[in-house]
Structure 1
């Protein structure tokens, strides 16, 4: 992963970061994010990563309301944490993109109902530490971390009940375990079909 450090005036910091984010010319398929005030470029995800995202997306479409969407390229912002992320999956009412959004390029993270990050070798620290702290800070109700690179084998952890910058672990297991999602989803995720990295 490459990173670009940005010098900016504190009173204009967020706007400057977003401008640089918008102007970053990354190769097709790469993910450009702002993590802890640094514009980062990550390579396109691996095939197994995409399979997991696809399986989760297919399961979630069975239980979400008709006016909600599941997005793999939607940017969510947490300006107070100098973060603008493109999660692997974001579940959000469509109105947040069309009617409530303050930008045509991203939405506020707190508009999301559920965010999923699937670790890649290049994103381990961000997915395990920086992003959950920012999502919890924003009040995103549920965060699912699919960690293909965990020591001892791939794991899946569902976080909820955000308070300040911290989530409570609602459920944790290894690939092969079932992970129940609470309302409004009321869905059991079968991780047995997830390919390991």
Structure 2
């Protein structure tokens, strides 16, 4: 009688990660592990959302070194808290992106992540991902929030430590927000579309 092959016991995180890697995700959709309870699908972003992502990427392109890029469909993982996100933008060195042993890319290698809040992602981007990126730790988290209760705003979170960001700067749409070195860049938010421009 032939012996059965030994069953490999996967940790919960390895199981989630393998599931994420094997998913056949529809075009435009994203798969993430947001809350530690498994893989979720995120619907394609709206036109205003894409517009903001492209504008920010264009500004970043003016100051990034040649061996960095801003990606819109790059998965980054935070194994210590069993999270995997696909940020709206992430700046990552090409050496990490092109290393097949580091897929999905480790969050602690990111230079910056950008999330653009939509109606359906308010709590995820403002709370869950804020917590996850701080645990990365990702040094800079830029949150573009047209749905802020106090008016459309952009917040830069900096100095991650002990599972949280220890400094935050918020400006209203229309103002500039400064990314520190290694960027040394003023992000001009004057053309960011407010909530009236977003689909209902």
Task: Spell out structure 1 runs of 4+ moving beyond 4 A.
Answer: none
Where structure 1 has 5 or more consecutive residues not aligned to the other structure, the ranges are: 1-9
Q: Do structure 1's residue 91 and structure 2's residue 103 form an aligned pair?
A: no
- Cα distance between partner residues in 1 of 2:183 and 2:46: 27
- The normalised TM-score by structure 2 is 0.88
Could you tell me how far apart the structure 1 residues matched to 2:93 and 2:107 are? 12
Give the 3-state SS of the residue equivalent to 2:39 in structure 1.
Answer: strand
What's the counterpart of residue 4 of structure 1? none
CA displacement, residues 20-61 of structure 1 (integer Å, 9 cap, x when unaligned): 212333322111100121311111001000000000000000
Query: Is the aligned partner of 1:189 residue 2:184?
Result: no
Cα distance in 1 for partners of 2:161, 2:147 equals 27
Aligned to 2:13: 14
- 1:3-152 aligned at under 5 Å gives the runs 12-37=11-36, 38-99=38-99, 102-104=101-103, 106-152=104-150
Higher alpha-carbon Rg:
2
Deviations 1:139-182 (A, max 9, x none): 21100000121113211000000012111333211101110110
1:74–1:87 CA contact under 8 A, matched in 2: yes
1:93-131: CA deviations, max 9, x gaps?
A: 1111123x5344x10000001010001122111111111
CA distance in 1 between partners of 2:166 and 2:155 (Å) = 10
TM-score between both structures, scaled by the size of structure 1 = 0.89
Superposition RMSD in Å: 1.5
Structure with the larger strand share = 1
CA distance in 2, matches of 1:35, 1:134: 8
Once the two structures are superposed, the pairs formed by residues 164-179 of structure 1 within 5 Å of their partners are: 164-179=162-177
- Aligned partner of 2:4 in structure 1 is none
